[in-house]
Amino acid sequence: MSGSIRLFVSAPLAEGVEVQATPGQAHYLGTVMRRATGAPVRLFNGADGEWQARLTVIKRDRAVLAVETPLRAQAAEPDLWLAFAVLKRDATDLVAQKATELGVSALVPVITERTNAERVNATRIIAIATEAAEQSERLTVPRVAPLQRLPDLLVHWPAGRTLFAAIERAGAAPLRPRQGGSAAALLVGPEGGFSERELDALRARPFVVPVSLGPRILRAETASIVGLALLQAGD
């Protein structure tokens, strides 16, 4: 089935169900991809696995898909979050897309002392993550957490989840693959790095493990990609 269109929908999926596409999906199917009635489309919704469906109605801003047969059962995804200092728009977009391809279950945008942005376009991040999930054959779209300040993130940190904090120039131990898919998160700072105060706050927390990503100073977006790949190298 490779090459066929794959769409994330919010409707329940089961044999015989009819799913209404969003106007954006209808535009994509009909106008962009030039699909006609009868065209196969794969659907997933994050809960019911992946299904083979077929286009039964295609108009400019309306499409209906008839769900036919199951293709893949829903399976657990890696329990890995990416917490990242918000970057300029293009870099944030890149991080959302690549982190989704790399399997994260949650994107957690963070404001740090040296973060320039005070807001993040959550709708845009969700749209990018959804497209990346469709393209990378995931069965879920990562959750996008509300924007929060680093001290709040640390105060409300969930028990049992290790936070690997990427810290350059500090002689931290190299990041190694996590063991047995245990609950974890990667934290990457802004272009200006973490402040001394933030570094102290991170080091004071028992769930934080400072890690190095090698001898070179990476752009924040590179650090996110490399860190997520390294953490999962043993999965």
Residue ranges in contact with ligand SAH by CB under 6 A: 166-169, 188-189, 191-194, 212-214, 216-218, 220, 223
- Give the integer Cα–Cα distance in Å for 132 and 142: 10
Asked if 155 and 182 touch (Cβ cutoff 8 Å), the reply is no
- Give the integer Cα–Cα distance in Å for 209 and 107: 19
CB nearer to ligand SAH: pick between 41 and 163: 163
CB nearer to ligand SAH: pick between 19 and 228: 228
| Residue 214 CB, nearest approach to ligand SAH (Å) | 5
Cβ atoms < 10 Å from Cβ of 101: 17
| Residue 27 CB, nearest approach to ligand SAH (Å) | 37
Q: Which residue of this chain has its Cβ atom nearest to ligand SAH in the complex?
A: 189
Query: What single DSSP character describes residue 110?
Result: E
CB nearer to ligand SAH: pick between 55 and 175: 175
| Residue 109 CB, nearest approach to ligand SAH (Å) | 14
62 CB-near residues (< 8 Å, 6+ apart): 20, 21, 23, 26
Type of residue at 147: L
| Residue 162 CB, nearest approach to ligand SAH (Å) | 16
